[in-house]
Amino acid sequence: MKINKFMKMADVIHLNYHLLSVLYRFKINLGFGEKSVEQSCKQNDINPDFFLEIANAFIDKDYFPDDKLQNFSLSIIIDYLQATHRYYTEEKIPEIENLFQTLINNGTPDNLKMIQQFFENYLDEFHKHINREEQTVYPYVLQLEKDFNRKKTTAKFLKLLEQYTITNYETEHDDIEEKLFDLKNILIKYIPPMDDYHPIHQILSKLFRLEKDINDHSHIEDKVLIPKVKKVEKQFLEQVKNKKIALV
C-alpha cells in the first residue's frame, strides 16, 4: 500500500512501524493526533512530497523513485542523509555497542576476542566512512549547489572542483554493507557456546535491520545524490566557461 499525503500520520505508523525511524530523521515527534501526513509535515517545515518519496521507498523495496528524488534540491537530500547519520551514531550504533558489552561481560573473554576485535574494526571503518562524508563530500556538494544557484564562485572552489569531483567519492565509496555482512556471518558461524544466547539474538536482529537501513541509505547516495551532483558539476563548469558564473 502506497502512502499518500491525505492519510493520517498515525495510520502510516500502524501500516509499518519501521517508519518511526524515518520520523526520527525528519524530527517529527509523536503526538500528531488526527493530522494527515501533509499537515504533520508542514507543521514541521518538511516538504511533504519529499517525505512521501522517502517513506514509500523505505517500506517498499520495489519502489525507488530515482527520477522523482532527483527533482529535489541537493540540500534537502543532504539534510536527510545527515539525519540518517545522526540516527546511526546517536541511536543504533550505541544500542548495538551496549549489547556487545553485555555479550562480552557474560562470556569468556578469550573465546570472544576475535568477534570483539572484528566488531571494533567495523565500528572504526563505519565512523571513518561517515566522517569522510560529513567533512568532505557533503560540504563540497552544498557549496557546489550554493555557487551554482547564486551564479558566483571563487577561484579556490573552482580549483577544488578541478581536483575533486563526485566521481572521486564514487570511486572511494566504501562498501560498509559488505563488512556488516561479514560481522553477522562471524557471529552466526563462530559464536562460542554460551549460557545465555539472548544478547547475541538481539545483536543479530539489530544488525540485520541496520544492514537493510544502510543499504537504503547507500541507494539514495548512489542512485540519487551522485547522478544529480554529476549533472550539476557539468552544468556548473559549462556556465563558468561561458562566463555565466562569475569569479569573485
Q: What is the pLDDT of residue 74?
A: 95
Q: What is the pLDDT of residue 173?
A: 65
Q: What is the pLDDT of residue 115?
A: 83
DSSP 192: P
Q: Which of 72, 176, 67, 73 is nearest to 126 (CA)?
A: 176
Q: Which residue ranges in the chain fall short of pLDDT 70?
A: 107-111, 172-174
Q: What is the pLDDT of residue 230?
A: 92
Residue 161, all three cell numbers: 572542483
Q: Which of 218, 176, 242, 207 is nearest to 100 (CA)?
A: 207
Q: What is the pLDDT of residue 107?
A: 65
The pTM (predicted TM-score) of the whole model is 0.88
Q: What is the pLDDT of residue 219?
A: 82
Residue 29, all three cell numbers: 515527534
Q: What is the pLDDT of residue 67?
A: 78
User: CA 143, 149, 151, 157: dihedral to nearest 10 degrees?
Assistant: 10
